[in-house]
Structure 1
């Protein structure tokens, strides 16, 4: 394993000076890993050599080859990043450092570990995209040698590879690597199913070999007559895992599959692709709805090809792919063909996808959320829509106009109010289809709410909305914290303006807050009692006169539109006009209850947590849920009358439940949305005029 000649034959595309440098890296790796063994018992150096051979099959540059040889030395040996930098330069040093494995940090879950690992990989990729190619080569060799590991480790690694690395390779256009990863992982996770399908494919190949050869010969003859320069024509079978996935998705048995085999045609240029397509359609009947032109509209990973399905002899469907040699190479190696660029240097769809992932990882709140976003993004099919200027925007199936807005720009998404789809006004929740032209209408007053999360499906939109809501929650908690502190100070005849910055800074240092905003936010979120803060301010000021704590002098005013920090209890459903109190809960902010609510009674004497609240007289359009219990006799026709009355007073019915009391009486549980007590009183007065309504009462949970 220490003989460089074993590797040299794979590196014949390098100049002598580059080969010499690679030889030096080889010697360093052999020396560094001397005495180390893999789990299989093989010398550890066999792994970096295997990774390097995979990289050489992609004709990767000499710096990538060196990084492949040294990718484990920083973690597993005494060699440092500085020593690599001195001998091979900063580019190789950064590559090796970016590829170093994460140390064994204790994560809360496997998902968190995945997320952190992928975050680090993205960070390294943002400087040099060769990182992902080397990382995928490393993963491929590890998957090839899984058999020696325990069942638990094999299952974990194969599952992670199927969920993350194989889809990434596919998304980056590295088809061959992705297919091999899929089949090897499937074999590891489901060995019996793998063998059954493999044997079935062998049998089908034997049965169809002669028929397929006749078809191929017939196509070759026609191509020659039409002077189409045919570079290669071959039959192909789908990989085992993709067959299994299709059987599972469509609930089919193997015998029911009709497209296990197909063919691939490689021609000289793009025009010949379309000429070849015409010839095929003359020879065999095409299935029109199966035709796809990925040359005119490439896939997000840059894949280009013509796809068609033909009805061959005996009516058996054949899937055919037609492309040029350049397209074939791109389909096989994908982003590996752009190793010489940084992410921002060229504008390909793979690079835009990577940039999108980097944007997502900056916006999301934790590793679990990030890795779930990545998985969602990897397993979505695309639709293609247009901007008003004619630019193509790629979105996953099921994406809405709001997803489109966030794809164009985060700020457009954050302030969108409606869409024009093919010049027709449409709601932002409209699901988009291929070929539509979408224009987004915005307003500076529009901002995201939690409801928007139910409208979008793309990871970028979800992470952008989450990010905005986190910021909004912080802004609201800071403002609420200031108001609560001021109210507490007033009990001692003080105000915020009378408390010196030195006193506040002393408290911040004592409580270990980094900024004044953090300090106020902690009060607003209920994590820090404003009353205890005030008492500490007074007790630490020997120069001030002793002060006696009084009653709350000023109620906190709320409008009902505060959003994330102030919430409304579902036990009593407070509405504007109700006498209300606020209960501070650590980490959650304030919960508003009616004064008569039984849930708040145990806290009434706790003036640190329980506050007097008043509704602001400022008019808002916000509505609040209320539950009414309506008892009726002979309920036929009553439901229609109730609905009609609600409509007349502009009240929306949210929910209705019917309980039979006896053979004469029925209880209607009506959840409605009202602007306040005034509108509720009007509705209840109107309901009492309906015939057979026996009793109406507002329901509050006991």
Structure 2
């Protein structure tokens, strides 16, 4: 027991304040954790109990509440004790609050984020569960971030190289961005550097060596700047803590990569920070800084008046020093500094217990992200972009601040106000002047959106939108516009199958197999019909799903007959998902052809890029498209055959069938005295197979010509 009390005192000494009750609680939590992990060891050879203690110390240095510290000691007790400790035991001994945090961390730990996989459904499910666990109690993520930080600090002991790489990727792609979005920069920076070291050791060592080369020179330079500012503040009777700060290795590497510069061309590798007692003094210090060094125009950022969306507050200014180099200076008060280092955790430093308002804001944000993943955002990649984006702040005409991604345009601003405002966007004024839709908003811009009664979204807007949320809302609009038609088309597919099964559509939809499928996917019958129509559920998948109801002879006959693949499954249109896609009958494009998409009432129609029917189509109806199918995919196209004797048509069909090319139908387009024009509808794999079919037909006697497509 004495050992546990000493451990509790060590932890609480890092926090800076404690009571007898706090010591007793942590000692009790340590004893349960030690029991849970007895005879368990880490890859480093240390007893497992070392890990929860170190996690607890990380959080104690951030001054979190004692319940979070107790949960940190117990965070692996349920998962890694082989059943010795259950969540019910934690709740019985420590109450609901601590048990809830432990349970949340346990759930998140079991979710291996699907980094590097193409299974988008698994990605979405995993992140949704992760966000849900965090939303139960925001302190779950505090513990999980500290847990991941200690694991990354000791990752060199992991022997499995693949596991090491996976953990580093997961950290860089998921946990570091979440720390960034929550404003916990002290953890974010270290997670990035530790991941960088694993994933790109050679570049990490290169940056480290470059920094070390001029470290003494830079330390001397920054010491000089600090002394100059300290002296000026002292003369103005301002109490302040002035310190130097250096960019972390991953940040330097990113800047080198993004700017395309070499190391010697980057000047903002270090800066200084002044921490004062209150907000008025921040602005006073800004004036003093500008009296010492000349400020760079456009580089003064007031995040006190307009905080970042994660709550970050500070004054930033970049000045030119007497050495002719730019120097960034940050000015903030002590509470702002704590928030900048620890984000939401800082509320434990200045408040007794939980700040309910701040907590609720983040819970709502997490729930919003989860909702967006379910309905709007198309996958993990967009979620990661949403987390990682740098921001600009702009103002509404009423002075409300809106935070948008760097590079955001008026269309992003319109949708950030309200979805209906976005849908009716017809133009924008920035600082009183009309601007084009592709204008990139800048910090401090005053933006007014013009709306039109008959205005409606254009797919062209996706080219100008920067925010994943904006793009998601535009895509959702088009999906909903086409929903009625998709449902009808899906019902038609089911109707054809129902005839083969000698069952009604109602019987099929009420069957156990369909009802279980709807429940497992969390979708309605209408959504099921839509997915069938757009090809998200393919014909083959539908047959497999209905297998218990299907006569085997039907399945076999369908398997033998080659059918064209669903366009939605083999074509990608500028990232647009879940929208009805048709193949143009006029040109019958196949892989190997360059293609474009044209928006119309029926959805998107795919044409060959040189199809004469798209020459005069308006630019805002045209969308970039590309093939995205597998080698087994089949495509319907048309050959126009001019033949002297139409009695030879049977020979042509037989010739193509012998080469493994399915002829779906034959249509006589016209018949003259000396020749006939016949349209052959074929199913092929690619342009090469189509060319082979064309050459085979051209070699037949009585054939005058063979061309692609229908008559124009």
**TM-score, shorter chain, exceeding 0.5:** yes
Residues in 1 aligned to 2:50 and 2:282: alpha-carbon distance in whole angstroms: 43
Contact 2:410–2:441, Cα closer than 8 Å, also in 1: yes
1:451–1:207 CA distance, 2 compared to 1 (3 A): closer
The 2-side partners of 1:155 and 1:524 are apart by: 40
For 1:184 and 1:9, the matched residues in 2 are separated by 26
Pair 1:24-2:28 in alignment: yes
Counterpart contact for 1:481–1:522, Cα < 8 Å:
yes
Q: Distance in 1 between matches of 2:437 and 2:509?
A: 44
Deviation at 1:165, TM superposition (A): 1.6
C-alpha displacement of 1:167: 2.4
Question: Where does 1:131-280 land on structure 2 (aligned, <5 Å)?
Answer: 131-150=140-159, 151-230=161-240, 232-280=241-289
1:287-331 deviation per Cα after TM superposition (whole angstroms, max 9, x unaligned): 333332222222222222222233334323332222111111111
Shift of 1:28: 0.8
Contact 2:429 / 2:447 at 8 angstroms: preserved in 1?
yes
Structure 2 counterpart of 1:558: none
Aligned partners of 1:63 and 1:443: how far apart in 2? 54
Secondary structure of 1:49's match?
Answer: helix
TM-aligned CA deviation for residue 400 of structure 1: 2.8
In structure 2, relative to structure 1, the CA distance for the partners of 1:290 and 1:349 (3 Å cut) is: farther
Shift of 1:129: 1.1
* Residue 301 of structure 2, aligned match among 292, 305, 313: 292
2:358 corresponds in structure 1 to 346
> What is the rounded CA distance, in whole Å, between the counterparts of 1:72 and 1:275 in structure 2?
49
Asked if the contact 1:102/1:117 (under 8 Å) is kept, the reply is: no
Check the 8 A contact 2:581/2:603 in 1, yes or no.
Answer: no
Checking the alignment, whether the CA contact within 8 Å between 1:266 and 1:322 is kept in structure 2 is yes
Q: Distance in 2 between matches of 1:204 and 1:311?
A: 20
Specify whether residues 503 and 152 from structure 1 end up closer, same or farther in structure 2 by C-alpha distance, changes over 3 A only: closer
Q: What are the equivalent positions in structure 2 for 1:94-493 lying under 5 Å apart?
A: 94-100=100-106, 101=108, 103=110, 110=117, 115-150=124-159, 151-230=161-240, 232-338=241-347, 345-346=357-358, 354=366, 356-364=368-376, 369-413=378-422, 415-422=423-430, 431-440=440-449, 451-471=460-480, 474-481=483-490
Task: Specify the SS of the correspondent of 2:238.
Answer: coil
How far apart are residue 404 of structure 1 and its match? 2.2
Question: How many angstroms apart in 2 are the aligned matches of 1:410 and 1:292?
Answer: 29
**C-alpha spacing 1:505/1:528, structure 2 compared with 1 (3 Å):** farther
Asked whether 1:513 is paired with 2:514, we answer yes
Q: Normalising to structure 2: TM-score of the pair?
A: 0.68
SS in 2 for 1:389: coil
SS in 2 for 1:38: coil
TM-score by length of 1: 0.69
CA distance in 1, matches of 2:157, 2:405: 39
Deviation at 1:417, TM superposition (A): 3.9
- C-alpha change, 1:472 and 1:67, in structure 2 (3 Å) is farther
Rate the CA distance shift 1:341–1:371 in 2: closer, same or farther, 3 A: farther
Q: Which residue of 2 aligns with 1:674?
A: none
Relative to 1, partners in 2 of residues 1:451 and 1:22: Cα closer, same or farther, differing over 3 Å?
same
Write out per-residue CA displacement over residues 150-207 of structure 1, whole angstroms, 9 at most, x where no aligned residue: 3322222222222222222122111211121122222223334333433443442323
Shift of 1:438: 3.6
Q: Aligned pair in 2 of structure 1 residues 210, 105: CA closer, same or farther (>3 Å)?
A: closer
| 1:289 match: secondary structure | coil
Following superposition, the deviation at residue 68 of structure 1 comes to: 0.9
Change in 2 beyond 3 A, CA 1:283/1:335:
same
Superposed counterparts of 1:70-109, under 5 Å: 70-77=74-81, 78=83, 79-100=85-106, 101=108, 103=110
What's the offset of the Cα at 1:394?
0.9
Aligned-pair CA distance for 1:406 = 2.7
Cα deviation 1:403-455 (Å, max 9, x = unaligned):
22332234444x32424324666676654344444444567876656555444
Instruction: Look up the SS of the partner of 2:465 in the other structure.
Output: coil
**Distance change (3 Å), C-alpha of 1:227 and 1:452:** same
CA distance in structure 1 between the aligned counterparts of 2:195 and 2:46, rounded to whole angstroms: 22
Other structure's SS at 1:512 match: helix
- Specify whether residues 475 and 273 from structure 1 end up closer, same or farther in structure 2 by C-alpha distance, changes over 3 A only: same
The 8 Å contact of residues 585 and 710 in structure 2, kept in 1 or not, is answered as: no
Distance 1:355 1:61 in 2: 24
Q: How many residues align?
A: 567
Deviates more, 1:479-488 or 1:621-630: 621-630
1:53 alignment partner, one of 57, 70, 95: 57
**In the alignment, is the contact (CA less than 8 A) between 1:290 and 1:308 conserved in 2?**
yes
**What is the rounded CA distance, in whole Å, between the counterparts of 1:523 and 1:178 in structure 2?**
43
Contact 1:418 1:425 in 2 (8 A): no
Distance across 2 between alignment mates of 1:106 and 1:380: 20
Distance 1:391 1:93, change over 3 A: same
State the distance in 2 between where 1:75 and 1:354 align.
Answer: 24
Task: Confirm or deny: 8 A CA contact 1:228 1:275 kept in the other structure.
Answer: no
CA contact (8 A) 1:229 1:272 kept: no
The match for 2:631 is none
> Is the contact between residue 98 and residue 120 of structure 1 (CA under 8 Å) also seen in structure 2?
no
Decide whether the 8 Å contact of 2:347 with 2:355 is kept in 1: no
Please give the alpha-carbon distance, in whole angstroms, between the structure 2 residues aligned to 1:701 and 1:108.
46
**Quick one: structure 1 residues 419 and 126, their matched pair in 2 at CA, closer, same or farther if it must change by over 3 Å?**
farther
SS of 2:48 mapped into structure 1? coil
How do 1:636-651 and structure 2 match up within 5 A? none
RMSD: 4.6
Is contact 2:8-2:26 (8 Å) kept?
no
What runs of 5+ residues in structure 1 fail to find an aligned partner? 493-498, 533-538, 541-564, 571-586, 600-618, 631-642, 656-697
- 195-204 vs 330-339, which moves further: 195-204
**In structure 1, the residue corresponding to 2:298 is in which secondary structure?**
helix
Q: Distance in 1 between matches of 2:347 and 2:126?
A: 23
